[in-house]
C-alpha cells in the first residue's frame, strides 16, 4: 500500500475494516451464539471473526473493533460491563500483532505459522479473559474472586476453542485466495 | 428491498418516539451522560448514591415513554442475567459481605452457606450496580438517531476516523444481519444442519460454512467501500465537519452540568465514607 | 474549437503483478461536454482506463504507466486520487457500496464534510442537490429503504455536489429494472446537457444505454481501442458482434434482413429513425421467410401455491390470498419491478420464509412439513450472488458438498459430481480453487452444486447478471438444454425482456404481491398497461416492426429471437 499520509491516524482502509468489522462481530455476538451447555457461556463466533480480521489488518483495527463491538453488544442488552469490554479491546489489540507473524498477504501460510498463531491466541486469551477481565471485576466491581475466575476460565476455554477452530479455518481459506502464483491448468 | 429480515434491526438505536425533550438532546449529551454515570456507578458501592443514580436514570426512561412490550424482552433478560450472577456470587462467597463490611450479623443458617445481613446488603449493592443504568440505556436506545452518534463522539474529541468507523458500523449492521440470514438459509439448502438437533461440534464446524461466504463478501466490501470513500476525499484533512452536528442547547448544557455535579458528589462520598463502600454496620 | 479535457497519448499500463500490459498504446481525446459510451468484452481494459481517470490507479493498484494522460490540461502524474476527485466524479458500479453514510442527506454531504465545509453550507448545498435530483422526501432515509434507482440518484448527488466537470459512471445499468435503467440514463443526459458535463459511461448494455443520445461509442478489446466514432457509425459496422458484445437487436435484425444500414442515418436513435418504405418491405419479406417458433403448452401442474398470506413484520401484508402454479417442464420468467415481491415469493417456495397461512404443494407432496434442506433436494435455488452460496475452496468439493452433507456414499458422490461437472462444462476446472474463477464461472459452479441434487425445479435469480454476450448465450442455452433434455422445470427471475421472449414459455408478471399477467411473453410484451405498471420495457424489435409496417410486431420479435438463438451458437467462445 502506498497510501499518502496526508493526515495522521488510521488509513482509510483501517477505518472501513473497523466499521465493517464492528458490524459483523456485533451481529455474530448478538444473534448467533452457540450455547455450550454450561449456563451463561456460549461459543462466540464474533471473537473468531474478530481474530481473523485483526490477523489481517493489525492491532489498531483489532482493538477498536473489539471495543465497539463488545460495547454495542452490551448496550443492546441494556448493560455495559466495562472490565470485559476493556479486556476484549486488549485482546483484539494483542492478537492484531499476529499480522506480523502470519504476513498472510505476502507469504504462504504454513502449518508452523498456524501453530504459532494458535499459541499466541491461547496466550492472549489466558491473559485477557483468564487474568485481566477477572481482576477488573475484582478491582472495579468488587466481585468475589472465585466467581469471576470461573467465568474468566470458561471464557478463556470457549474463546480459545472458537478461535482455534473457526478462525484457523478462515485463515486457511483466506490464505488460499492470496497466493495464486501456482499455475492452474485445465485438465 | 426484497429480502427483509423478520427480526427488526433495532438493537443499537431504533425508531423515534414522540417524547417531549429526550429526543431533542444532542448525541454528545447522551454519550457524556452515559459514559459519566456508567463510570462512577461502576466504582461506587454507596447504596444511597446508587439509588440516586437509578432515580436519575428513571427520569430519562419516563421521558422516553416506551411501551412495555418494546422493552419486555430485554428487561426479562437482564433480570435473568442478574439473578444468575447473584446466585453465583453467593454460592462462591457467602462470606464476602462480612469480609467487606468487617462484621457479621447472622440472619439464619449456619456453616459455609450461612446468610448474613452483610452478605444480603452486599448483594443488594451489586444488584443496584447491575441495573442502575438500564433505564437510561433503554431510553437512549429508543430515542437516539444513530446518525447523531458519530458527530456527537467527535465533539468530545474522539478522533474523527474512529467516529466514522462507528458510523459505518451502524450503516452496515442491518445489511449484515440480512446477509447472514440469507447465507445461513442458502447453506441450509445446501444441506447444512444448524438446528438444535446437531451436536455442538457439528454446529461450530457448520457455522464456519456460513462464516466463510460472509467473510469473503465482507473483505470485498472493505475494498470497495475504501475506494468509494477515498474517491470522495475521506481522511485527507485533519478534521471533518458533520451534516448531523447540532450546537448544544441550554438543556444539553444543563444536563451535562448536572451529570458533572453527580460525579463530583460520587467522588466526594469516597472521602466521606473513607472508601468506596457505604458501611451502615459500624 | 475548445481544448479536450481528457487526452491519452500512446498510453500503456501494466499492473505490477502482471506480465502483459493491460492497456496498449491507447490514444484518445474527449472534448468538454461530450457524452461517451465506453464498452468492451470482459477483460478488455475498461476498468483499467476508468481507474486511471479517477486515480484509483496508482492509489490502489500500482503499476507501470507509459505515455501521457492529461485531465483538464494537467498531467495525471501530478495529480493524486484526492486532486483528481475535484476533476472527475466517479459513481461506482455497486451503488450500495458507494453509499457510505447512515442516511441520504449525510451521504450527499460526505465529500463536503471531508473538505471541512461549514455545517450551514452542508445543509444548503444538500438541499439544493436534493432538489435537482428529486430527493427531498428521501433525505432522512437509510440505504436499506431505497430502490436501486434511488440509490443511484443519491450517488450522483453525492458526486455532483463537488461540481466536477467530468463524470464517470461504471455500469450504471447493472441492478436496475428496465424502466429504472431508462429513467437513470435520461436523468444523466439531462444533467449533462444542463451543466455542460463531460460524461463517460462504462457499460456493456449498449442497447439500453443508447436510449439516450451519446456523442461517441468507444470499444476496447485486449487493451486497445478498436472503435471510436459516433454510435451511428459504429453500429453500421459489425465490430460489436464480432467481439462478443451485444448489438442493439433492431440493428442486428436490419443487418440480417440484408438491409444496407450504411444508408440509414441516425441508426443509434431508434425512435427518430426513418426507415424508407422499400427497406421496410425488405424487412417484412425477410421476416415472413423465418419459421414461426412452435408454441408448446405444458399444462400439467407441478408446483402450486394456494391462498398464501405473507407480510414482513411491521409492514403491510405483501401477499394476500395469493395463488400460483408452475407447470411441469416449463421455463418460466418471473418479472416485475424491484421490490415487488419476486424474491419473497421464491423464498416462500424454498422455505427461507414461512407464509402466515396457505398451502404449497409440489406434485402431490405438501411442502409445509419439509425443512429448507429437504425442500432443496426437490427445488434447487441459485441465488443471484454466487458468493453467498459458495463455502468451500475448491470446485469439486463445492459441488460435492450437498451430497456429502446428505451422507451419499463417496463413490456415488464421485460419479454424480463428475457427471454434473461435465454437463456444466466445469470438468476441466474441477481441481481449481474457486477464487481463481470469474463471476460467470462461479455462477455456473453454484448451478452445478444445486443440480447435483437432481431437483425437479430449478429456480434462478438473475441467471445472466454480469455476463457478456458470449457467456450469456452459453448460460441460457445450457439452461434450455437442461429443460429440454432432462425435463427440469426452470423458473428465472429476470429484468431482461429479450431473455424472457427468447427462452420463457410463460411469463409471470408480479406487481406488489399480485399477478398482473400470466401469459406467454409475447402477450405480455404487447400489453401496454402491464408494461407500464410492472416497470418492464418494450423491445426495440417491436418499434422496428412498426416502422417497417409489419402488423404483427411481436410475432416478428419472436421469430427473430428464435433465429438469433440458432445463430448465436456460432459466436460462442470455447473456454
Count contacts between A and B (CB, < 8 Å). Answer: 199
Q: What is the pLDDT of residues C15-34, one digit of tens each?
A: 887 888 999 999 999 999 99
Chain C residues with CB inside 8 Å of B245's CB?
Answer: 119
- Say if the Cβ atoms of B232 and C111 lie within 8 Å: yes
The larger pLDDT score, comparing residue C282 to residue B208, is at C282
- The sign one gets for the Cα dihedral C376, C381, C382, C388 is negative
| Phi, psi for residue A61 in degrees, rounded to 5 | -60, -45
pLDDT score for C572: 47
Q: Which residues contact C470 (CB under 8 A, 6 or more apart)?
A: C41, C244, C571, C572, C573
Q: Which residues in chain B (210-239) have CB-CB distances under 8 A to chain C?
A: 210, 212-213, 216-217, 220-221, 224-225, 227-237, 239
Nearest to A187 among C82, C393, C428 (CB): C428
Confidence of residue A4 (pLDDT cuts 50, 70, 90): very low
pLDDT score for A185: 72
End residue of a domain, out of C230, C257, C284: C257
Distance of CA C451 to the CA centre of its chain: 24
Nearest to B133 among A48, A79, A142 (CB): A79
Same domain as C309, residue C246? no
Task: Give the percent of chain C with pLDDT over 90.
Answer: 61
Among C113, C147, C435, which would you mutate to test the B interface (most chain B Cβ atoms within 10 Å of its Cβ)?
C113
Q: Does A180 touch chain C (CB under 8 A)?
A: yes
Mean pLDDT computed over A148-164 = 91
Nearest to B200 among A34, A77, A145 (CB): A34
- CATH code assigned at C171: 3.40.50.300
Domain for residue C552, yes or no?
no
Considering only alpha carbons, which residue of chain C is nearest residue B217? C387
The residue behind cell 400460483 is: C324
Half-sphere exposure of B26 (CA within 13 A, CB side): 23
Segments making up each domain of chain B, as ranges: 158-243
Q: Which residues in chain A (39-78) have CB-CB distances under 8 A to chain B?
A: 39-40, 43, 45, 48-49, 52, 56, 64, 68-69, 72, 75-78
- Say if the Cβ atoms of A176 and C429 lie within 8 Å: no
Chain A residues with CB inside 8 Å of B38's CB?
Answer: 80, 82
Q: What is the pLDDT of residues C476-511, one digit of tens each?
A: 888 888 898 888 999 999 988 888 988 999 999 999
Our count of domains for chain C comes to 2
Domain span including residue C445:
302-543
Query: Chains with ≥3 Cβ pairs under 8 A against B?
Result: A, C
pLDDT score for C114: 96
Considering only alpha carbons, which residue of chain C is nearest residue A181? C17
d(CA A176, CA A166): 16
Considering only alpha carbons, which residue of chain B is nearest residue A26? B173
**Cα–Cα nearest to C82, from C108, C56, C106:** C56
* CATH number of the domain located at residue range(s) A12-178 in this protein: 1.10.1760.20
Mean pLDDT computed over C124-132 = 95
Domain for residue C271, yes or no?
no
- Say if the Cβ atoms of B232 and C342 lie within 8 Å: no
- Say if the Cβ atoms of B189 and C350 lie within 8 Å: yes
- Say if the Cβ atoms of B165 and A37 lie within 8 Å: no
* Cell, residue C74: 494537467
Q: Where are the beta strands (DSSP E) in chain A?
A: 34-35, 42-43
Mean pLDDT computed over C296-324 = 90
Mean pLDDT computed over A60-78 = 95
- Say if the Cβ atoms of C383 and B1 lie within 8 Å: no
Q: Residue C229: is its pLDDT beyond 90?
A: yes
How many Å from the N-terminal Cα to the C-terminal Cα in chain A? 36
Q: Residue A181: is its pLDDT beyond 80?
A: no
**Cα–Cα nearest to C268, from C313, C307, C236:** C236
- Say if the Cβ atoms of C59 and A186 lie within 8 Å: no
Q: Residue C176: is its pLDDT beyond 80?
A: yes
* Cell, residue C419: 457427471
- Say if the Cβ atoms of C435 and A180 lie within 8 Å: yes
Domain for residue C446, yes or no?
yes
Considering only alpha carbons, which residue of chain A is nearest residue C575? A186
Among C432, C441, C574, which would you mutate to test the A interface (most chain A Cβ atoms within 10 Å of its Cβ)?
C432
Contact (Cβ atoms closer than 8 angstroms) between residue C392 and residue A172: no
Chain B residues with CB inside 8 Å of A140's CB?
Answer: 42-43
Q: Which residues of chain B have pLDDT under 70?
A: 1-19, 194-198
Nearest to C428 among A173, A177, A186 (CB): A186
CA distances from C248 to B218, C36, C133, C216, C476 (A): 36, 17, 29, 16, 19
- Say if the Cβ atoms of B38 and A19 lie within 8 Å: no
pLDDT score for B252: 93
Q: Does A79 touch chain C (CB under 8 A)?
A: no
Domain for residue C444, yes or no?
yes
The larger pLDDT score, comparing residue A24 to residue C241, is at A24
CA distances from B170 to A79, B29, B50, B253, C156 (A): 19, 19, 32, 27, 23
C331: left (phi > 0), else alpha (psi -120 to 50), else beta?
beta
Q: Which residues contact C478 (CB under 8 A, 6 or more apart)?
A: C424, C425, C444
Q: Residue C401: is its pLDDT beyond 80?
A: yes
Domain for residue C438, yes or no?
yes
pLDDT score for C51: 93
Domain for residue C263, yes or no?
no
Considering only alpha carbons, which residue of chain C is nearest residue B242? C113
Mean pLDDT computed over C357-383 = 92
Confidence of residue C568 (pLDDT cuts 50, 70, 90): low
Q: Does B148 touch chain C (CB under 8 A)?
A: no
Nearest to C59 among B2, B209, B230 (CB): B230
Domain for residue C161, yes or no?
yes
Q: What is the pLDDT of residues B68-120, one digit of tens each?
A: 988 898 899 899 989 988 998 898 889 888 888 888 888 888 888 888 999 99
Mean pLDDT computed over C196-203 = 94
- Nearest CA distance, B16 vs chain C (angstrom): 12
Nearest to A78 among B12, B138, B164 (CB): B138
Q: What is the ipTM of this complex?
A: 0.90
Q: Does A9 touch chain B (CB under 8 A)?
A: yes
Count contacts between B and C (CB, < 8 Å). Answer: 169
Chain C residues with CB inside 8 Å of A4's CB?
Answer: 80
Same domain as C350, residue C252? no
Q: Residue A71: is its pLDDT beyond 80?
A: yes
Domain for residue C24, yes or no?
no
Q: Residue A1: is its pLDDT beyond 70?
A: no
**Cα–Cα nearest to C557, from C296, C290, C337, C335:** C290
Among C90, C114, C126, which would you mutate to test the B interface (most chain B Cβ atoms within 10 Å of its Cβ)?
C114
- Nearest CA distance, A183 vs chain B (angstrom): 23
Q: Which residues in chain C (122-161) have CB-CB distances under 8 A to chain B?
A: 122-123, 126, 142-145, 158-159
pLDDT score for A183: 59
Q: Does C420 touch chain B (CB under 8 A)?
A: no
Q: Residue A39: is its pLDDT beyond 90?
A: no
Same domain as C108, residue C199? yes
Mean pLDDT computed over C48-54 = 93
* Range with the poorest average pLDDT among A128-142, C116-130, C455-469: C455-469
Considering only alpha carbons, which residue of chain A is nearest residue B84? A40
Considering only alpha carbons, which residue of chain A is nearest residue C427? A187
Give chain C's radius of gyration (CA, Å): 25
Q: Does B241 touch chain C (CB under 8 A)?
A: yes
- Say if the Cβ atoms of A20 and B218 lie within 8 Å: yes
Helix, strand, coil share of chain C (percent; to 5): 45, 20, 35
Contact (Cβ atoms closer than 8 angstroms) between residue C319 and residue C309: yes
Q: Residue C365: is its pLDDT beyond 80?
A: yes
How many Å from the N-terminal Cα to the C-terminal Cα in chain C? 47
d(CA C54, CA C58): 10
- Say if the Cβ atoms of C430 and A187 lie within 8 Å: yes
pLDDT score for B10: 40
Amino acid at each position: 500500500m502506498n497510501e499518502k499520509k496526508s493526515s495522521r491516524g488510521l488509513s482509510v482502509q483501517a477505518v472501513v475494516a473497523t466499521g465493517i468489522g464492528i458490524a459483523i462481530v456485533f451481529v455474530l455476538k448478538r444473534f448467533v451464539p452457540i450455547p455450550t451447555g454450561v449456563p451463561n457461556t456460549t461459543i462466540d463466533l464474533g471473537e473468531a471473526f474478530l481474530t481473523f480480521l485483526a490477523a489481517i489488518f493489525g492491532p489498531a483495527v483489532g482493538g477498536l473493533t473489539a471495543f465497539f463491538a463488545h460495547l454495542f453488544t452490551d448496550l443492546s442488552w441494556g448493560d455495559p460491563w466495562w472490565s470485559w469490554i476493556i479486556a476484549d479491546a486488549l485482546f483484539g489489540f494483542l492478537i492484531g500483532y499476529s499480522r506480523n507473524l502470519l504476513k498472510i498477504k505476502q507469504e504462504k501460510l504454513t502449518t508452523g505459522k498456524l501453530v504459532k498463531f494458535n499459541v499466541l491466541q491461547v496466550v492472549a486469551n489466558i491473559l485477557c479473559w483468564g487474568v485481566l477481565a477477572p481482576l477488573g471485576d475484582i478491582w472495579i466491581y468488587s466481585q468475589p474472586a472465585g466467581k469471576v475466575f470461573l467465568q474468566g476460565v470458561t471464557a478463556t476455554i470457549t474463546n480459545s476453542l472458537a478461535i482455534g477452530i473457526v478462525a484457523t479455518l478462515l485463515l486457511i481459506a483466506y490464505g488460499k485466495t492470496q497466493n495464486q502464483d501456482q499455475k492452474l491448468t485445465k485438465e | 428491498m426484497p429480502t427483509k429480515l423478520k427480526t427488526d434491526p433495532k438493537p443499537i438505536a431504533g425508531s423515534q418516539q414522540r417524547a417531549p425533550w429526550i429526543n431533542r438532546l444532542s448525541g454528545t449529551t447522551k454519550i457524556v451522560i452515559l459514559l459519566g454515570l456508567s463510570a462512577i456507578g461502576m466504582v461506587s458501592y454507596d447504596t444511597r448514591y446508587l439509588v440516586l443514580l437509578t432515580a436519575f436514570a428513571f427520569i430519562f426512561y419516563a421521558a422516553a415513554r416506551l411501551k412495555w412490550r418494546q422493552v419486555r424482552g430485554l428487561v426479562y433478560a437482564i433480570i435473568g442475567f442478574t439473578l444468575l450472577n447473584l446466585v453465583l456470587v453467593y454460592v462462591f462467597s457467602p462470606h464476602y459481605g462480612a469480609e467487606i463490611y468487617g462484621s457479621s450479623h447472622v440472619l439464619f443458617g449456619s456453616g459455609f452457606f450461612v446468610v448474613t445481613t452483610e452478605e444480603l446488603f452486599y448483594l443488594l449493592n451489586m444488584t443496584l450496580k447491575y441495573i442502575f443504568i438500564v433505564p437510561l440505556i433503554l431510553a437512549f436506545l429508543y430515542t437516539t438517531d444513530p446518525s447523531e452518534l458519530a458527530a456527537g463522539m467527535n465533539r468530545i474529541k474522539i478522533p474523527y476516523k474512529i467516529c466514522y468507523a462507528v458510523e459505518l458500523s451502524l450503516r452496515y449492521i442491518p445489511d449484515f444481519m440480512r446477509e447472514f440470514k440469507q447465507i445461513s438459509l442458502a447453506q441450509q439448502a445446501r444441506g447444512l444442519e444448524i438446528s438444535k438437533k446437531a451436536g455442538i461440534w457439528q454446529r461450530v464446524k457448520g457455522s464456519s460454512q456460513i462464516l466463510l461466504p460472509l467473510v469473503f463478501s465482507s473483505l470485498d466490501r472493505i475494498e470497495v467501500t475504501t475506494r468509494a470513500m477515498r474517491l470522495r476525499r475521506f481522511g485527507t484533512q485533519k478534521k471533518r465537519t458533520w451534516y448531523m452536528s447540532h450546537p448544544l442547547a441550554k438543556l444539553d448544557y444543563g444536563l451535562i452540568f448536572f451529570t458533572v455535579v453527580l460525579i463530583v458528589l460520587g467522588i466526594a462520598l469516597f472521602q466521606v465514607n473513607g472508601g468506596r463502600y457505604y458501611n451502615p454496620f459500624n | 474549437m475548445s481544448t479536450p479535457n481528457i487526452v491519452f497519448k500512446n498510453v500503456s499500463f501494466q499492473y505490477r503483478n502482471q506480465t502483459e500490459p493491460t492497456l496498449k498504446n491507447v490514444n484518445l481525446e474527449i472534448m468538454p461536454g461530450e457524452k461517451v459510451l465506453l464498452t468492451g468484452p470482459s477483460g478488455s481494459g475498461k476498468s483499467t482506463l476508468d481507474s486511471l481517470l479517477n486515480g484509483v490507479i496508482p492509489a490502489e493498484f500500482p503499476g507501470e504507466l507509459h505515455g501521457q494522460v492529461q485531465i483538464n490540461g494537467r498531467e495525471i502524474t501530478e495529480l493524486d486520487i484526492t486532486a483528481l476527485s475535484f476533476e472527475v466524479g466517479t459513481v461506482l458500479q455497486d451503488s450500495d457500496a458507494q453509499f457510505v453514510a447512515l442516511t441520504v442527506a449525510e451521504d450527499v454531504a460526505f465529500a463536503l464534510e471531508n473538505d471541512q465545509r461549514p455545517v450551514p453550507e452542508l445543509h444548503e448545498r444538500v438541499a439544493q442537490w436534493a432538489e435537482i435530483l428529486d430527493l427531498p422526501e428521501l433525505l432522512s432515509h437509510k440505504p436499506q429503504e431505497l430502490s436501486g434507482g434511488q440509490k443511484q440518484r443519491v450517488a450522483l448527488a453525492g458526486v455532483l455536489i463537488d461540481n466536477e466537470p467530468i463524470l464517470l459512471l461504471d455500469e450504471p445499468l447493472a441492478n436496475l429494472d428496465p424502466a429504472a435503467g431508462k429513467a437513470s440514463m435520461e436523468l444523466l443526459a439531462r444533467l449533462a446537457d444542463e451543466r455542460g458535463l463531460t460524461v463517460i459511461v462504462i457499460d456493456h448494455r449498449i442497447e439500453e444505454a443508447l436510449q439516450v443520445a451519446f456523442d461517441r461509442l468507444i470499444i476496447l478489446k485486449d487493451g486497445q481501442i478498436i472503435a471510436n466514432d459516433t454510435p451511428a457509425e459504429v453500429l453500421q459496422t459489425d465490430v460489436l458482434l464480432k467481439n462478443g458484445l451485444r448489438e442493439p437487436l433492431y440493428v442486428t435484425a436490419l443487418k440480417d434482413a440484408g438491409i444496407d444500414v450504411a444508408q440509414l442515418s441516425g441508426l443509434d436513435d431508434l425512435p427518430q429513425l426513418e426507415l424508407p418504405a422499400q427497406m421496410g418491405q425488405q424487412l417484412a419479406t425477410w421476416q415472413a421467410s423465418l419459421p414461426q417458433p412452435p408454441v408448446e403448452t405444458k399444462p400439467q401442474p407441478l408446483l402450486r401455491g394456494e391462498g398464501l398470506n405473507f407480510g414482513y413484520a411491521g409492514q403491510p401484508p405483501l401477499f394476500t390470498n395469493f395463488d400460483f402454479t408452475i407447470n411441469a417442464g416449463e421455463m418460466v420468467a418471473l418479472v416485475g419491478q424491484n421490490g415487488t415481491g419476486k424474491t419473497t415469493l421464491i423464498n416462500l417456495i424454498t422455505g427461507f420464509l414461512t407464509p402466515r397461512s396457505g398451502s404449497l404443494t409440489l406434485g402431490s407432496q405438501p411442502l409445509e412439513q419439509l425443512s429448507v434442506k429437504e425442500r432443496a433436494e426437490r427445488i434447487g435455488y441459485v441465488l443471484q450472488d454466487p458468493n453467498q452460496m459458495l463455502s468451500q475452496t475448491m470446485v469439486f468439493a463445492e459441488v460435492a458438498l450437498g451430497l456429502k452433507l446428505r451422507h451419499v456414499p463417496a463413490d456415488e458422490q464421485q460419479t454424480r459430481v463428475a457427471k454434473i461437472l461435465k454437463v456444466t462444462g466445469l470438468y476441466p476446472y474441477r481441481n481449481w480453487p474457486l477464487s481463481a474463477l470469474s463471476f460467470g464461472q462461479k455462477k455456473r459452479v453454484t448451478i452445478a452444486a444445486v443440480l447435483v441434487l437432481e431437483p425437479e425445479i430449478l429456480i434462478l435469480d438473475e441467471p445472466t447478471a454480469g455476463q457478456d454476450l458470449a457467456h450469456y448465450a452459453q448460460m441460457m442455452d445450457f439452461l434450455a438444454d437442461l429443460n429440454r433434455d432432462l425435463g427440469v422445470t426452470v423458473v428465472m427471475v429476470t429484468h431482461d425482456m429479450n431473455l424472457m421472449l427468447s427462452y420463457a414459455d410463460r411469463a409471470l408478471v408480479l406487481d406488489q404481491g399480485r399477478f398482473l399477467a400470466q401469459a406467454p411473453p409475447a402477450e405480455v410484451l404487447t400489453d401496454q398497461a402491464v408494461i407500464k405498471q410492472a416497470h418492464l420495457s418494450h423491445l426495440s424489435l417491436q418499434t422496428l416492426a412498426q416502422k417497417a409496417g409489419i402488423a404483427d410486431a411481436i410475432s416478428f420479435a419472436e421469430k427473430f429471437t428464435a433465429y438469433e438463438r440458432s445463430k448465436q451458437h456460432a459466436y460462442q467462445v470455447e473456454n
